[in-house]
Chain A
Amino acid sequence: MTARLEVARTTAQPAARRRPQVPWLGIGLVVLVLSILVAIVIGPASVTGPAPITPLDVLGSAWHHVTAWLAERGLPVTVAENPLSLVRDGIIWQGRAPRAVTAVLVGAGLALCGVVLQGATRNPLADPYLLGISSGAALGAVAVLILGVAVPLPVAAFVGAVLALLATLALAGIGGRLTATRAVLAGVAVGQAAAAGVSFIIFSTAQGDSYRDILGWLMGTFGAASWSSVLIALVALVVIGGVLLGFGRTLDAFAFGDTAATALGVNVPRTRWLLLVLSALLTGAMVSVSGSIGFVGLTVPHVVRLLLGPTRSGNTAVARTSAAVGGIFLLWADTVARTVFTPLEVPVGVLTALLGAPVFAFLLLRSRRRGDG
């Protein structure tokens, strides 16, 4: 009797009960564009002069560049006037705009990696740096900064990240299957070894100004972001992130353990290996342009799960939302980091840790309370 009533109610209003169709993609894009517009006009007056730059100036300037670009190619377009002076134009388009876009892309990539790694290792504390990746990247970067190896910094960082990943996978795979626990333990070991290497190099050779460079890099900063950083981060996010998003349901199956996932037709060791490698490559690319920024990949997925609730807690939805939230969050974190303590610029990693730690503590408390109840 009750069952029949239930069915009747279900058929009566299925749409209202389930998955309301909110145009999240559109809302997300609008918030993203507005965020970037607002973030790039914020900045110390000591740099741009007392008159504020408005988002409209930025749009006008963008229109100027578009028309100029078209006119250069012989199209019959009147070149619009640039509302920004030459200096201000440079500050916006060569400095803040690529910096803002890089922050968005890196935030999205790190948050996405967090979701994937937490799912693939069944470890809620997993983050993009779990597999020793950031320490490996740091080792590569510090080697370049201090030892003066003639390799571009992002390349060195990326190579360091990949080598750390290979070491982790080799260590985890020795004498057994690639289980989640083995991957995590191996990552911790490799991370510690690489961190020791970084400390040793700094201690033995660094002097004067290179300390600040290194420190900024170890804590993460977008200070050196350029359009080539945007390109690196964008390609990595679109290519690798796109593939990772396709694994949402596989991650849902992983949530029930290796045996259940196998019974559902997933090749568990091979899929886990693939997910670890792809996340590591994506993280490596992100670290190479920003240094290691902590807590974004760890915290954002948990916050998003909390916000979405069980109706949309499948890993596909969580991964998409986390990428959006992570990107916008890191943009604002960086905007605060570069403006609040002028003339000093705080490494953005310091700020994300400052914000992330209490958020994470709150999530832990909350999950414990729920577990007790």
Chain B
Amino acid sequence: MTETTMTAVDLTAQGLGYRVEGIDLLRGASLHLRAGTVTGLLGPNGSGKSTMLRVVVGALPASAGTLAVTEDGMSLDLAGMRRRDRARRIALVEQDAHAEVPLLVRDVVALGRIPHERRFASAVDDDPVAADAIERAGVTELADRSFDTLSGGERQRVQLARALAQQPRVLLLDEPTNHLDLAAQLDMVRLLREVADTGVAVLVALHDLAQAAQTCDEVVVLRSGEVAAVGDPADVLSPALLADVWRVRGEWVTGSHGRALVVSPLA
């Protein structure tokens, strides 16, 4: 493979702002994603998680702050980068993907090859990278199904396959465990870890704090568009912070599988 698949890429967002119709959805939010790690993006509804992901991927224009990736010790400003070059580095798995068009799953995954192909190229059948992405995301059996006939969980995995076909160095996911049953949630989490182990920086927005505590190397907690806390989940997700940000009671318990976070309603 080419060296781009080997390059470790870090992403740094500094003081990101996003303002729409006079309301600040992001206010000076900063984060740092390290290659090979899974970072959890946490926060209650409306705290700016989805907005943050969209600004980082470039679908929403930041009204303040800078976004840069560091590769081979060089810092590259994302704002000045061509869309295609950005798409070769950063991929996004959205929360609810709708497509009324009945595309085949393998064609949906092949869309991830767009930033790597010639402009105006038609789809390549049996692209090896797309085939590999299909296998890694575990959607081989779905490859010849039509995307619009899939369940929510299946769509989520197909979207992940499409994102992997982009061969991103930074992978963003917006609540990828939504719609999934418990086994599938664990499966998704395992997949994200596998992706990170190949040197990708993973940023995943999650609602389930216990799952985040178990999965993430680091968490970023958002509140009203601001970063409330950053760091190791065991340090960050303290009872005080959980009570403050989510209005829930949290406590760490030691069980047979190590320490875990248990969340319950505030008394």
CB of A372 closer than 8 Å to a CB of B: no
CB of B71 closer than 8 Å to a CB of A: no
**Is B91 within 8 A of A263, CB to CB?**
yes
Name the interface residues of B69-109: CB closer than 8 Å to any CB of A: 83-88, 90-92, 94, 97-104, 107
Known: A246-B120, A260-B97, A314-B103. A252 touches B111 (CB 8 A): yes
**Is B59 within 8 A of A262, CB to CB?**
yes
Least Cβ distance of A64 to chain B in Å? Answer: 42
Which residue from chain B places its CB closest to the CB of A17 in the assembled complex?
Answer: B144
Contacts of B138 on A, CB cut-off 8 Å? 3
Contacts of B92 on A, CB cut-off 8 Å? 259-260, 263
**Is B144 within 8 A of A266, CB to CB?**
no
CB of B58 closer than 8 Å to a CB of A: yes
Name the interface residues of B133-183: CB closer than 8 Å to any CB of A: 138, 140-141, 143-146, 166
A-side interface mostly: helix
Contacts of B83 on A, CB cut-off 8 Å? 262, 265-267
CB of A357 closer than 8 Å to a CB of B: no
Known: A257-B94, A266-B83, A314-B107. A14 touches B166 (CB 8 A): no
Instruction: Give the docked Cα–Cα distance between A124 and B99 (Å).
Output: 12
CB of B225 closer than 8 Å to a CB of A: no
Contacts of B87 on A, CB cut-off 8 Å? 263-265
CB of A256 closer than 8 Å to a CB of B: yes
Contacts of B36 on A, CB cut-off 8 Å? none
**Is B125 within 8 A of A252, CB to CB?**
no
Which residue from chain B places its CB closest to the CB of A251 in the assembled complex?
Answer: B101
CB of A79 closer than 8 Å to a CB of B: no
Which residue from chain B places its CB closest to the CB of A267 in the assembled complex?
Answer: B83
Contacts of B59 on A, CB cut-off 8 Å? 258-259, 262-263
Instruction: Give the docked Cα–Cα distance between A255 and B104 (Å).
Output: 13
Cβ contact of A266, chosen from B85, B107, B114, cutoff 8 A: B114
Instruction: Give the docked Cα–Cα distance between A326 and B125 (Å).
Output: 27
Bitwise, A235-276 to B at CB < 8 A (1) or not (0) is 000000000001111101101111110111111000000000
**Is A252 within 8 A of B100, CB to CB?**
no
CB of A209 closer than 8 Å to a CB of B: no
Which residue from chain A places its CB closest to the CB of B116 in the assembled complex?
Answer: A265
Interface centre among A2, A19, A250, A310 (most CB of B within 10 A): A310
Contacts of B97 on A, CB cut-off 8 Å? 256-257, 260
Instruction: Give the docked Cα–Cα distance between A29 and B74 (Å).
Output: 55
**Is B144 within 8 A of A252, CB to CB?**
no
**Is B94 within 8 A of A260, CB to CB?**
yes
Interface centre among B83, B97, B120, B143 (most CB of A within 10 A): B83
Contacts of A124 on B, CB cut-off 8 Å? 100
Name the interface residues of B234-266: CB closer than 8 Å to any CB of A: none
Cβ contact of A3, chosen from B120, B141, B144, cutoff 8 A: B141
**Is B104 within 8 A of A310, CB to CB?**
yes
Which residue from chain B places its CB closest to the CB of A7 in the assembled complex?
Answer: B140
23 contacts between A and B (CB under 8 A): A3-B140, A3-B141, A6-B140, A17-B144, A124-B100, A247-B120, A249-B111, A249-B122, A249-B123, A262-B57, A262-B83, A263-B57, A263-B59, A264-B166, A265-B87, A266-B83, A266-B114, A310-B103, A310-B104, A310-B146, A311-B144, A313-B146, A314-B123
Q: Report which B residues bind A (CB closer than 8 A).
A: 54, 57-59, 83-88, 90-92, 94, 97-104, 107, 111-112, 114-115, 119-123, 125-126, 138, 140-141, 143-146, 166
15 additional contacts (CB under 8 A) given A249-B123, A264-B114, A316-B122 = A3-B141, A6-B140, A6-B141, A10-B140, A19-B125, A249-B122, A252-B107, A255-B99, A256-B94, A258-B59, A265-B85, A265-B86, A310-B103, A311-B104, A313-B104
Q: Report which A residues bind B (CB closer than 8 A).
A: 2-3, 6-7, 10, 14, 17-19, 119, 122, 124, 246-250, 252-253, 255-260, 262-267, 305, 309-311, 313-316
